[in-house]
């Protein structure tokens, strides 16, 4: 079996890539390899033109329905309706083009992260060359502050540490070495002899042979996954597509039937019946629905933005409300991405980091600060995360570090070495010199002979040493990274600054246990998510024990979840069928690679779940793009993750997601209310016209139907989109992928309420022609049509109040809480009644003034509409309680 580069020695890798480690490649060989392998850049997905994007927006079925409605309205001579519909279509297309163009920036952002230049050895000399010119086999030099320009197999390492959080999710820089690794299929975070493109060198220096450039690097594979990621249809888009398709066929069938029945009655000319059929089609099509959905979503994005949740794609607002699973990265999302000392051990005891410092702890803090390379730049600590944590500990205890550094200046040091795992400094200390040492507990304890206890130096007995080892183990089992500290005093600066000469006969002072702690608000957010029926997952590149500890502290993992943790290596051993069977038992995924995250998302989606994925690193981008809703971090997130996401958290606050979910549920409920209102109203209009045609009665004119639609289908429906959330909205189970706008009783409500509107309208018409006020048949029929017209419009307006909730009474949810809704109903009512009261308009609309009795009849019908719906709701609530 062919060995992988991390399994080979530096000599074997150099032989494979045909390069001399000392002199590097020749100029001619570089040119030959550039011609063979190409340039070291990430290829971009071929983007469509703006015109192609614009044309593509018109493939949506609801948009086609709107265009048909515009054609019908134009044929009926309704120019205003035609213009409004076309305006909605064009605005929707423009917005869609904008969103699609923004989504294509993910790969571009990934490309711009690449290192612009690299130090390389060629023909025995060091050259500074554009990173894009690197080829496999080049010898690259690395030092602190560099961005790794390509994937490298390290051949030299001097205290080299590289921050790979953006790729692996590990919260602390990785210590690198050059030794060959024997294990097969190691996760990225454990390939300690490799350096990956776009990661950051935080400490030390090194050299490496280029083993991957451009799209063959680990980052390049992520870019490939981004280009291949399928864009999932959101639940909102699926619902609108299905609804539009259903309505299209129903409208066509009903219009044809009405036309045929009207012609068979021989009471109207074919031109009159064609106009009636057209008016019926316009009445049946909820032409304002896409606009109302867009406006409701846009208003939702505005409210979310105020809560620090920035929506990049409108459908994401509604998708949030359907979320059933949230897969969250750990580092920087659930945790603070900032190493912090949590406990310290001195005087044979473990203390919380907030505990006051006794005399031994003060000495420990001094050693922490002096044995440290952290710099303070613009009031920001800059350096290795572990070392900045040591300085932060001192700052939290309000220690005067400036005075400490001035009094005890560093005069010599022995840098950290990954083999001995120690770092030593020599500092001035009164008339002596203080030698401070920090490092791995097991390594340091072998060099200790004494210990500081209560300010006194005493011999390190076997019993005390065992106690230290036990405390070290106790801290480690809590997933804390443990460092040990010791010191020694010397009258002179050591003449020989070597480990053998200096790091011996040390005085042990203490241990510190540090961790990347959880965000303080996340635990409550996780509890809220569970209460809302949402399953939170932790998906991280960090170690199993660390992930498990954080998950336990956040409530994602419980003590009974013995089989709920799985690593990337274990996941690789599961075939798809087995993983699908077990996916619901796992809540913590540790040491995973980018392809694992995508696999997890797809497995839950295959279960029919709506999946949200959070993250901030480049390694999260493919999963963010494949998820139903990708959520990126705004502060710590890379531009790549933001470009692939549907939503960006401006405050990097996991709790903001839960607020956004609540808003998403409210948005869906409000769209449902608008649909219930529109479709029940349209059904009432269709039923009225259909029965009038069957009965051979005078039929409402197209102008009546179109005006009712104009005044009742716009402002009231939009106002329903800003209804406040109903109580207990976050204590309901997620509606999931299979739910639609007609579920949860909405379809039944549309049918019976639409029939009720039609029956009441027809009833008023029947009363008017059966008990006419005028003896003249023409005037009687004119009065009857006027009463039917006003009744149909008024019923829709009063019914809008009932649609504020499918089951709850309008008196318990608050009739007049929504001021915008109240004004919209008032304005629509004025516009409707104006056609009857204003002399110039009633002639234009073919209506007649009504007397008191006629108005009383209409108002009784409106009262019955509200009363009957309330009675039905009461019965539904009572029946549900009995069940």
- Please name every residue paired with 518 in a beta bridge, in sequence order, or none if there are none: 335
Residues in CB range of 212: below 8 A, 6 or more apart = 136, 150, 151, 197, 218, 220
Q: At what angle do helices 702-712 and 819-837 cross, to 10 degrees?
A: 160
**DSSP string spanning 508-550?**
EEEEEEEE-PBPTTHHHHHHHHHHTT-EEEEE-SS-HHHHHHH
Q: Is 137 left (phi over 0), alpha (psi -120 to 50) or beta?
A: left
Cα–Cα dist 35/470, whole Å? 59
Half-sphere exposure of 111 (CA within 13 A, CB side): 17
- Please name every residue paired with 435 in a beta bridge, in sequence order, or none if there are none: 426, 488
- 329 in active site: yes
Cα–Cα dist 298/312, whole Å? 11
- Please name every residue paired with 829 in a beta bridge, in sequence order, or none if there are none: none
Cβ contact 383:141 at 8 Å: no
Tokens 């990785």 correspond to what residue?
174
Q: Closest Cα partner for 372 from 389, 351, 357?
A: 389
Q: Is 709 left (phi over 0), alpha (psi -120 to 50) or beta?
A: alpha
Residues in CB range of 1: below 8 A, 6 or more apart = none
**C-alpha 570, offset from chain centre:** 27
Strands 194-195, 151-163: parallel, antiparallel or unpaired by DSSP? Answer: antiparallel
Strands (E), 181-308: 194-195, 200-212
Per the residue annotation, which of 60, 151, 163, 329 is the catalytic one?
Answer: 329
What's the sign of the alpha-carbon dihedral 848, 851, 853, 855?
positive
**C-alpha 522, offset from chain centre:** 15
The residues annotated as belonging to the active site are 329
């Amino acid at each position: 079996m062919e060995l992988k580069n991390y399994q080979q020695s530096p000599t074997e890798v150099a032989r494979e890539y045909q390069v001399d480690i000392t002199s590097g490649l020749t100029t001619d060989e570089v040119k030959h390899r550039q011609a063979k392998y190409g340039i070291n850049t990430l290829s971009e997905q071929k983007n469509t033109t703006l015109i192609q994007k614009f044309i593509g927006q018109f493939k949506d079925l609801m948009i086609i329905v709107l265009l048909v409605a515009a054609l019908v309205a134009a044929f009926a001579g309704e120019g205003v309706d035609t213009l409004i519909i076309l305006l909605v279509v064009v605005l929707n297309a423009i917005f869609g083009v904008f969103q699609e163009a923004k989504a294509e920036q993910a790969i571009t952002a990934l490309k711009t992260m690449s290192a612009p230049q690299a130090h390389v050895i060629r023909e025995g000399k060091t050259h500074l060359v554009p990173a894009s010119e690197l080829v496999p086999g080049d010898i690259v030099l690395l030092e602190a502050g560099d961005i790794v320009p390509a994937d490298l197999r390290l051949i030299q390492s001097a205290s080299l540490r590289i921050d790979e959080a953006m790729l692996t999710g590990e919260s602390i820089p990785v210590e690198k070495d050059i030794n060959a690794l024997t294990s097969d299929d190691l996760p990225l975070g454990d390939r300690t002899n490799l350096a990956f493109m776009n990661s950051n060198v935080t400490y030390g220096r090194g050299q490496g042979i280029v083993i991957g450039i451009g799209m063959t690097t680990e980052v390049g594979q992520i870019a490939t996954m981004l280009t291949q990621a399928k864009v999932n249809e959101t639940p909102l888009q699926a619902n609108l597509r299905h609804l539009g398709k259903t309505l299209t066929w129903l409208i066509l069938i009903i219009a044809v039937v009405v036309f045929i029945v009207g012609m068979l009655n021989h009471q109207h000319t074919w031109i009159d019946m064609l106009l009636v059929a057209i008016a019926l089609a316009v009445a049946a099509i909820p032409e304002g629905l896409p606009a109302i959905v867009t406006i409701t979503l846009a208003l939702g994005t505005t409210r979310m933005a105020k809560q620090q949740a920035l929506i990049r794609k409108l459908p994401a607002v509604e998708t949030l409300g359907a979320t059933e699973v949230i897969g969250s990265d750990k580092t920087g999302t659930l945790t603070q991405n900032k190493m912090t000392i949590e406990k310290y051990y001195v005087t044979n005891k473990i203390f919380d980091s907030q505990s006051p410092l006794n005399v031994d702890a003060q000495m420990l803090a001094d050693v922490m600060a002096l044995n440290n390379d952290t710099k303070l730049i613009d009031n920001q600590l800059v350096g290795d995360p572990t070392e900045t944590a040591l300085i932060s500990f001192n700052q939290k205890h309000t220690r005067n570090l400036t005075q400490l550094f001035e009094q005890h200046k560093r005069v010599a040091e022995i840098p950290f070495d990954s083999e001995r795992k120690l770092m030593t400094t020599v500092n001035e200390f009164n008339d002596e010199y203080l030698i401070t040492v920090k490092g791995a507990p097991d390594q340091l304890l072998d060099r200790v002979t004494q210990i500081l206890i209560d300010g006194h130096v005493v011999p390190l007995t076997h019993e005390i040493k065992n106690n230290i080892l036990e405390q070290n183990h106790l801290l480690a089992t809590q997933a804390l990274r443990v460092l040990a500290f010791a010191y020694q005093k010397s009258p002179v600066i050591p003449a020989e600054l070597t480990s053998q000469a200096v790091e011996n006969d040390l005085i042990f002072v203490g241990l510190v246990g540090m961790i990347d702690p959880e965000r303080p608000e996340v635990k409550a957010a996780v509890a809220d998510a569970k209460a809302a029926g949402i399953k939170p997952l932790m998906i991280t590149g960090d170690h199993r024990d660390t992930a498990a500890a954080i998950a336990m502290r956040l409530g994602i993992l419980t003590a009974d979840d013995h089989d709920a943790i799985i690593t990337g290596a274990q996941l690789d051993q599961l075939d798809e069928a087995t993983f699908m069977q077990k996916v619901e038992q796992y809540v913590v995924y540790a040491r995973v690679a980018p392809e694992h995250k995508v696999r997890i998302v797809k497995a839950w989606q295959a279960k029919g779940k709506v999946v949200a994925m959070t993250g901030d690193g480049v390694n999260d981008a493919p999963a963010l793009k494949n998820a139903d809703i990708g959520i990126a971090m705004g502060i710590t997130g890379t531009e790549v993750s933001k470009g692939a996401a549907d939503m960006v958290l401006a405050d990097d606050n996991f709790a903001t997601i839960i607020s956004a979910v609540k808003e998403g549920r409210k948005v869906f409920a409000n769209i449902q209310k608008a649909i219930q209102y529109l479709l029940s109203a349209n059904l009432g209009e269709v039923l009225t016209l259909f029965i009038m045609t069957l009965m051979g009665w005078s039929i409402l004119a197209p102008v009546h139907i179109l005006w009712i639609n104009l005044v009742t289908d716009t402002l009231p429906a939009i106002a329903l989109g800003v209804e406040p959330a109903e109580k207990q909205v976050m204590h309901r189970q997620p509606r999931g992928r299979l739910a639609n706008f007609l579920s949860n009783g909405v379809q039944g409500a549309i049918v019976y309420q639409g029939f009720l509107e039609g029956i009441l309208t027809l009833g008023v018409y029947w009363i008017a022609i059966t008990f006419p006020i005028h003896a003249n048949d023409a005037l009687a029929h004119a009065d009857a049509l006027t009463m039917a017209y006003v009744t149909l419009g008024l019923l829709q307006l009063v019914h809008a109040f009932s649609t504020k909730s499918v089951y709850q009474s309008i008196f318990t949810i608050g009739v007049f809480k929504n001021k915008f809704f109240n004004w919209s109903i008032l304005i629509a009512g004025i516009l409707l009644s104006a056609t009857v009261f204003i002399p110039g308009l009633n002639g234009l609309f073919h209506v007649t003034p009504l007397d008191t009795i006629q108005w009383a009849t209409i108002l009784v019908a409106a009262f019955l509409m509200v009363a009957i719906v309330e009675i039905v709701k009461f019965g539904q609530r009572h029946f549900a309680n009995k069940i």
